[in-house]
Amino acid sequence: MNIKIDDLSDPRIAEFLEEHMRDMLSVSPPESTHALNLNELKDVAVTFWSVWQEQSLVGCAALKRLDANHGEVKSMRVSNEFRGQGVARKMLAHLISHAEEEGFSRLSLETGSMAFFDPARRLYESFGFSYCDPFGEYKIDPNSVFMSLELEVSES
């Protein structure tokens, strides 16, 4: 498996992200769907990774810089065919490591409160994320839960 920073130019990425948005809208009302679109993922504050198994796109994840010390996990997705094979765990570990290298002291995320998102919440909990109040521009929403992880800040 190869995790690489991606410039989002491959049309397979756009298709993968469109599928992600369709999935989110199938379980969450539009006002509670906070997935970034392709253009938003190209923002300079966002680092986007794609995950490949040989020539197959199997997952993606993004890290959005909220401020000098705080980042947000975005666009975590694993293709249906590769779910349950540890791809999300490897992506999240990679993202956390990168965030620590970048000097972040905190990572936060928003995910759905519905049963569809149970596996994601369990994954985040297994990495030490804990439930928190809304952060950034988020508001309390019965369809969302918010989680945060304090990171080890490396002394340079």
Q: CA-to-CA distance for 141 and 38, rounded, in angstroms?
A: 24
User: Which of the residue ranges 6-10, 31-35, 72-76, 88-92 would you say has the lowest mean pLDDT?
Assistant: 31-35
* Confidence (pLDDT) at 26: 82
* Confidence (pLDDT) at 154: 65
Q: CA-to-CA distance for 29 and 129, rounded, in angstroms?
A: 25
* pLDDT, mean of residues 8-21: 92
* Confidence (pLDDT) at 153: 76
* Confidence (pLDDT) at 116: 93
Query: For 30-66, how does the pLDDT look when each residue is reduced to its tens digit (9 = 90+)?
Result: 888 888 889 999 999 999 999 999 999 999 999 999 9
> SS3 of 16, please?
helix
- C-alpha angle with apex 96: 95 to 101, nearest 5 degrees? 95
Query: What is the band of 155 on the pLDDT scale with cuts at 50, 70, 90?
Result: low
Listing from the earlier edge strand, what are the strands of the sheet with 56-65? 2-5, 46-53, 56-65, 70-78, 106-112, 144-150, 130-132
Above 90 in pLDDT, residue 76?
yes
* pLDDT, mean of residues 115-139: 96
Above 60 in pLDDT, residue 156?
no
Please name the helix (run of DSSP H) or strand (run of DSSP E) that holds residue 84, with its range, or none. none
* pLDDT, mean of residues 76-91: 94
Of 2, 18, 14, the residue nearest 87 (C-alpha): 2
> SS3 of 57, please?
strand
Please identify which residue in the block is written with the tokens 């369809």: 143
Query: For 101-126, how does the pLDDT look when each residue is reduced to its tens digit (9 = 90+)?
Result: 999 999 999 999 999 999 999 999 99
